[in-house]
Structure formats: C-alpha cells, structure tokens
Structure 1
Amino acid sequence: MSRRIRFALTTGGAVAAAQLALALAAPAAHAANYPVTPEQRSIAARTAETGIPVSELVPNAPDTYTVRPRDTLWDISAMFIKSPWRWPELWGMNLEQVRNPHLIYPGQVLVLDTSDGRARLRLGRRVDGGGPLGDARLSPRVRSEAVALDGISSIPFNLIEPFLNEAVIFETNELSAAPRIVAAQEGRVMLSRGDIAYVRGELGGQREYRIFRTPRALKDPTTNEVLGYEATYVGSSEYVRQGETRTGADGKPEIVPATFTVTSIRQEAGIGDRLAPVPPRDYSNYAPHAPAAPMDGRIVSIYGDALTAGQNQIVALNKGARDGIERGHVLALWRSGSSVLDRTDGGRERIRLPDERHGVLFVFRVFDRMSYALIMQVQEPVKPGDRFTQP
C-alpha cells in the first residue's frame, strides 16, 4: 500500500516559520561555503523529477522525521535510503524547496512520499492536519526558543576537525630542514603546555606553528614506493621573540635562537622536534559522493600507534589527487577472502574465497599521492594492506 504523509511545522508558529524561511531563502554568502558539484546538481535534478525506486529505501524508513541539532546529512540519508552517501538523492527529492542540501535546519520536518511507487522527501507546510499542503494556521502566542542559524553538516565534523591540522602527509622529507627546538627554559629536556622553547631555523612571518616529531616514510603496500612522509603531531606553539646573531664579549658572533611558547600539547615536546606553520583552517562542509570513475587502492597505515582500526578512526590511503581522489569521496572497504581447503572432492585443493565488502570510508583530506579517510562504518578491524574501491 502506498503512503503519502503530510506534516506541519511544529507548533511554535513564528519560530518554525522562521526556520523554514531560513532554509528557503538563506543568504548566498552562507550557501557559498557549502559547494555543490555539477555532477551532484545533475543527479539531484533527475531525482527531483522522478524520485528514487521504493526498493532503494531502508525497510523501516520513517514516514516523517524532525531534524535535530546534531543531525548530519549522512544520518538522515541513512534513515531513508540504503546508501547514506547518496545525499544528492535526498536533496533531489527536495530540490524545489531546498535549493542547497546543506541549508536544512533543526526543527524542520521531512516527509516521505511514496504514493506513486517512487520515493521523495518533502518539507511540510501545515499545522492543522487538513487538506494537502494548505495554509498553516499559526497561533499568535509568544514563545521564546533558540533558532538555529547554521544548516546541518554533511558528516559528524567533530570527528575530523582535530585532524585537519594534526594529520599531515608531507610530499618530501621537508621537515628535516624545518625550524627545530634546540633548547628549553631552565635546561629542561621535555616541554609541556606553557613552557618556553628556543628555536633555530628559517621562520616565516607566521605567529602559530605546529610541533612535529621526526617523520616516517609511508610506502605503497603494493609497489613499496615511498608516497609521502607522516610526522607525529606533538602540539602547537606561538612565536614570541625573534632570534638574532650578535657579537659576543670575545668579539665572535653569537647565535641567539628565537623564543616560542608551547600553547597546546598532545605529547611532551622535546629537543630536536620540528616546527611547521599552522595552515589556514578550512571549515567548509564535506559533501559525501562516490567517485565518478572506478577506484581501487590499499590502506597504507593507521593514524597513530594502533595496528588495526575501527569505526571513527583515521587511515591513510595510497591514492591522492593525482589518482582522482577528492575530499568527500565515499569508498567501500573490502575484507580479503580466506585461503581454505576444498575437502569436497577428496583432492584437498586450496582455494581463495571471494573478497567481502565490510565497511565505508569517508575521505576528508587529500594530498597529491595520498589521502586521509575516516572509517564511517566497519564490521571487522581494518589493517594496513586492506583494499578499498568505489562504493
């Protein structure tokens, strides 16, 4: 039996209407922070006309859903469709009402319409439960309630935000020539937050610097080629006073290092640790989408000291911008098939079982030859050498 569910803005009148108005007429400057690719727009346009087959819905897809403050497009997509990264379909079902998928706000109610055998999501406009899409009757009551000014994000941004500065792959071993900590206040060997560090090396005009330990080479699991260098993030520091070269009491040149303050710490900093400028912060949204072309690669390493990784952990991939990887790409994780003996014919021949898909990756940072991805879903521990493809 088909179903057509209609809903209304939650009673609270002016607040709910204001939220809907924000979604329909958000400032262009706000929307510009959330890019939509031509491919995604094309997909959305097609689904806006036809919807998607009901067979693509999850079995328990809700008839209506009220958007909550900590929701993401990934979360909402997963409630309605089997592949949560297919957010353009979710947006396409709203194309006439929500011009940009990122301008969906807490408090709005999504309605699932499957009346013609195709699935679409709509925003409702009633509060009195009468005829379809009629005029809302708004109560003149005054009600105080916080109104969300920012649209929901695509994915749980808090999971990747700490790694935007910390997880870095250098194309070459450039940190070997970077400014270095040469001494600490009062002769200390290890430094904590608030300690003074003395630094030698070529410094730019920046005020904030990250502190890294000696980098390690990351090699392709298949070719053994060095793809980049990953340095362990130690903490951050702030430039206080420039160094100089002056004449000593004996008439010889004296080198005075620059002065820094350690402002935050992940682990104690030490003599010999290297400094790199803090890059500009990029808080733009991350729109999940599948690669346009086939993709086949391997996990290079687990970020940190772990040997295996699970959900919400970070992994490094052996594919980067030159291979067509983009920020926002969703990739499928595969478990290698086991080698077993065929005992059914008496020959005890060894065979290889097929690989099985068991997880989903979300790419959030891309370098030339490598990238970092967040494990969004996984059934078994992920380890270096595991395979990924397009979803």
Structure 2
Amino acid sequence: MFKKLFIFTSFCSAIIFSLPSFSNEEKLVLKQDYPSNYTVKKGDTLWDISALFLDNPWFWPKLWKINPEINNPHLIYPGDELSLTWQNGNPVLSVKPLKKLSPKMRTVIKEPVPTLPTSLVVPYLQSDRLIDATNYKEAYRVLGTSDGRKFLSGNERVYVDAELEHKEWGIYRTVNEFSRKDTKETSYALRLVGLAELAETTKEMSGLKVIKQQQEIAINDVVLPITSGDINKELTTTFYPQPAPKGMGVSILGSIDGGEYLAVNQVAVIDRGTNDGLLQGSMFSLKEEGNVVKGNKGEYYYDLDKGKNKNSLQLPQTKIGELIVIRPYEKFSLALITRSEMPIHKGVIAISPNKE
C-alpha cells in the first residue's frame, strides 16, 4: 500500500505544475471566521480543511502555495501546520511539516489526508464500476454451479462460458443501465459480488474457485478480469477539488443502484466523462430550475408546461448543493453529492461553478 502511495506521489509531482488556471473574474472568497493557522488532525479530509478557509472549497488549488520542502506540495499529513498569509493582496496557504523527512520516508511513515472520507470513495475505485455497451455485450457470463447453489464453499466451482487464461476474476451483478441523450450511448452499472481464481479450463468453459463472496452468485452475472491496471494510478483517494470546465453542464442520470433521489454522501451517475474534459475532482454546482409564471398582475399562475413566451416569466434557479467527480470513465462518471439542501433528482441542473 505504501509503495502505491509513493508511486502516486511521483505522479502528482509530475502534474503539480499543470493545475487548472483561474481567471481574474473568479474571486477567491475566504470564510469570515477563517483560521490563521490550523494543525491537521487524524481523520481530517482535504474537503473539510478547504471548507475551513473557503466559501467555495473547489478553489483549493488557487489558495494552496507550492512548498519546495515537500516532494509533493499537495499532500498534507496529520501533524502538519497550515498557515494563511497574504502575498500581493492575495491569500496564500502554506504548510509547515511536523518533521523534516525525505519524501520516501514520509510516505512510508504515514498516509496523506484524503480528499473525502475513504469509505465513500474506495468502493467506487475498487468494486462498483461502469462499463460501456460494447464491453458489456462481449463480457464473459456465469453459467452457474453444478448443483445450482448460489453461495459456495472454498472447494466448489462456478463455471464461466469461455476458455480463460487469466488467474484473478471479479464477478459482477448488473444493477442499472444509463443512456446519454446527446450520443445515445449506454453504460451499465456493475456491483462486485465476488472474487475468484481460475481453477480449470476447457475450450467450452472454465471453472473458477470463489475466494471471496459478498452476495449470491447467479447465472448470467458478468465476469471480468482483475488486473493491476484495473485501478488507474491517476485514481486515488487524494486528488484536487477543482471547478469543472467552464460552461459545462451535465445531466444527473440517477444513483448507481437505480434510486430516484440522492442525498449527501450518495453517488450519482452523470452523462459526461474524460472524453468531455472531466477529471477526478471536477466540481459542479447543483441548481433547481425555477418555475415559469404566466398571467396578468393579480392573476399569476404557474405554467406546468414551462412554455416560455412574451407573457411568461422565468423565476431564477436556486442553488441547492454540490457534487464532485470521484471516478470518471470515458463517457460517463460517478460523482459524490458533497452538499444538498433538498433531495437531488434527475431534474436538478448540474453546472460548472465557473459559470456563476
């Protein structure tokens, strides 16, 4: 695990100088009661710390000062002291490490503060996933077990409809289907139900030994290989919150398991991905569309069809929350609701904060 952290440190060092740029129009607004100093504590998240200083936590990279004393200036650790100072009239946040250690020793001794609680992010990096229609159609499927049982002991086999060579496999249940209106493309949401190892194989089928089972394994479950590249090194629990590309709007397609409404700390599927410029950490504001009012003075009424004409008046949008992309795919993404003043549904508008 610590080896992976060191790899990620090196990766972040490579990208630290290519952070998103901010225009002069995007004002950095500090909280009225912001602290001048703050000591990072165990259990803190980058999002919590950002919210101590900023009204808009997604502008964290604009506040952060690159500190040459640390191999990766973005990573902060419990015990580090953060200090807010002013340079040329602009607020700057810098860090004083608890101890001066080499970068390699630092990653071995303790883990950096994650952006969000790891319990909210890790399942969507390691288990639940989206898959496009082509790969879904071509994916291997469970044929079943010899005796028809769905919960298996260590010596029993689950059979798959292909001759397999890879050693480690994940078994997934299809929980939902999503489509983009603009491209008509489809993505399927999968939930991990078990992990297995190849035990035997023929030209017609293969037998897998189930080594971990989270729920029943059923006929037609999807079987995908587990490889070291399944979790992209660019996907981690420590990433920059940053505004989505300026002017971008996305549609909320629903929750990964099909729920109609979402609340804080729940994950939504949205209809944009890396092909559209989204990154892990991209932020959106959530707004409720205002009603359309028609009629003359004293006789106003809501237009349920929301048809706009010269006799109608569009009421303003209301900001009701925020979401952050935690796992982008090429054409869809998984995004966590970080703030919500009311239940989030498919009709809610998600737009880049840079549009405000």
Tell me the TM-score normalized by structure 2. Answer: 0.78
| AA aligned opposite 2:222 | R
1:232 aligns with 2:190: yes
Contact between 2:189 and 2:257, CA under 8 Å: does it hold in 1?
A: no
Q: Report the Cα offset of residue 116 of structure 1.
A: 8.2
Contact between 2:292 and 2:302, CA under 8 Å: does it hold in 1?
A: no
Where does structure 2 lack aligned partners over 5 or more consecutive residues? Answer: 99-107, 304-312
Q: Report the Cα offset of residue 307 of structure 1.
A: 1.6
Secondary structure of the structure 2 residue equivalent to 1:272: coil
1:384 aligns with 2:346: yes
Paired residue for 1:362? 324
Secondary structure of the structure 2 residue equivalent to 1:79: helix
1:78 aligns with 2:40: no
| AA aligned opposite 1:40 | L
Secondary structure of the structure 2 residue equivalent to 1:238: strand
Contact between 2:144 and 2:160, CA under 8 Å: does it hold in 1?
A: no
Secondary structure of the structure 1 residue equivalent to 2:64: helix
Match 2:173 to one of 207, 213, 220: 213
- What aligned pairs does 1:29-178 form with structure 2 within 5 A after superposition? 31-34=9-12, 36-40=15-19, 56-92=29-65, 95=67, 100-113=72-85, 118-123=90-95, 148-178=109-139
Q: Report the Cα offset of residue 30 of structure 1.
A: 6.1
Q: Please list the CA deviations of residues 222-246 of structure 1 after superposition, one character each: whole Å capped at 9, or x if unmatched.
A: 55x532221431412222322225x
Q: Please list the CA deviations of residues 272-322 of structure 1 after superposition, one character each: whole Å capped at 9, or x if unmatched.
A: 222011243346432211134320121112111422111111111111222
- What aligned pairs does 1:335-350 form with structure 2 within 5 A after superposition? 335-340=288-293, 344-346=297-299, 348=301, 350=303
Secondary structure of the structure 2 residue equivalent to 1:190: coil
Which region of structure 1 is more displaced relative to structure 2, 191-200 or 274-283?
Answer: 191-200
Paired residue for 1:241? 199
Q: Report the Cα offset of residue 149 of structure 1.
A: 2.9
Q: Tell me how far apart the structure 2 counterparts of residues 72 and 318 of structure 1 sit (CA, whole Å).
A: 27
> Against the structure 1 CA distance between its residues 84 and 193, is the aligned structure 2 distance closer, same or farther, given a 3 Å change threshold?
farther
Question: In percent, how many aligned pairs have the same letter?
Answer: 24
1:268 aligns with 2:216: yes
Contact between 2:254 and 2:269, CA under 8 Å: does it hold in 1?
A: yes
Secondary structure of the structure 2 residue equivalent to 1:58: coil
| AA aligned opposite 2:257 | G
Where does structure 1 lack aligned partners over 5 or more consecutive residues? Answer: 1-26, 127-146, 246-254
| AA aligned opposite 2:126 | N
Q: Report the Cα offset of residue 73 of structure 1.
A: 2.1
Q: Report the Cα offset of residue 326 of structure 1.
A: 1.8
Q: Report the Cα offset of residue 161 of structure 1.
A: 0.7
Q: Report the Cα offset of residue 180 of structure 1.
A: 2.0
Q: Tell me how far apart the structure 2 counterparts of residues 177 and 348 of structure 1 sit (CA, whole Å).
A: 53
Q: Report the Cα offset of residue 41 of structure 1.
A: 7.6
Paired residue for 1:199? 159
Tell me the TM-score normalized by structure 1. Answer: 0.71
Q: Tell me how far apart the structure 2 counterparts of residues 123 and 177 of structure 1 sit (CA, whole Å).
A: 50
Secondary structure of the structure 1 residue equivalent to 2:125: helix
| AA aligned opposite 1:181 | V
| AA aligned opposite 1:170 | I
Q: Tell me how far apart the structure 1 counterparts of residues 344 and 97 of structure 2 sit (CA, whole Å).
A: 46
Q: Tell me how far apart the structure 2 counterparts of residues 115 and 226 of structure 1 sit (CA, whole Å).
A: 49
Match 2:255 to one of 297, 302, 310: 302
Q: Report the Cα offset of residue 212 of structure 1.
A: 2.2
Q: Report the Cα offset of residue 42 of structure 1.
A: 6.2
> Against the structure 1 CA distance between its residues 79 and 203, is the aligned structure 2 distance closer, same or farther, given a 3 Å change threshold?
farther
Q: Tell me how far apart the structure 2 counterparts of residues 102 and 153 of structure 1 sit (CA, whole Å).
A: 11
Contact between 1:300 and 1:385, CA under 8 Å: does it hold in 2?
A: no
Match 1:258 to one of 183, 206, 210: 206
> Against the structure 1 CA distance between its residues 29 and 226, is the aligned structure 2 distance closer, same or farther, given a 3 Å change threshold?
closer
Q: Report the Cα offset of residue 122 of structure 1.
A: 4.0
Secondary structure of the structure 1 residue equivalent to 2:126: helix
Paired residue for 2:148? 188
| AA aligned opposite 1:182 | L
Q: Tell me how far apart the structure 1 counterparts of residues 138 and 302 of structure 2 sit (CA, whole Å).
A: 55
Q: Please list the CA deviations of residues 95-114 of structure 1 after superposition, one character each: whole Å capped at 9, or x if unmatched.
A: 46556333322112223336
Number of aligned pairs?
324
| AA aligned opposite 2:215 | Q
Secondary structure of the structure 2 residue equivalent to 1:293: coil
Q: Rg larger in 1 or in 2? A: 1
Secondary structure of the structure 2 residue equivalent to 1:242: strand
Q: Tell me how far apart the structure 1 counterparts of residues 302 and 264 of structure 2 sit (CA, whole Å).
A: 36
Q: Tell me how far apart the structure 2 counterparts of residues 300 and 290 of structure 1 sit (CA, whole Å).
A: 20
Paired residue for 2:335? 373
Secondary structure of the structure 2 residue equivalent to 1:74: helix
Secondary structure of the structure 1 residue equivalent to 2:247: coil
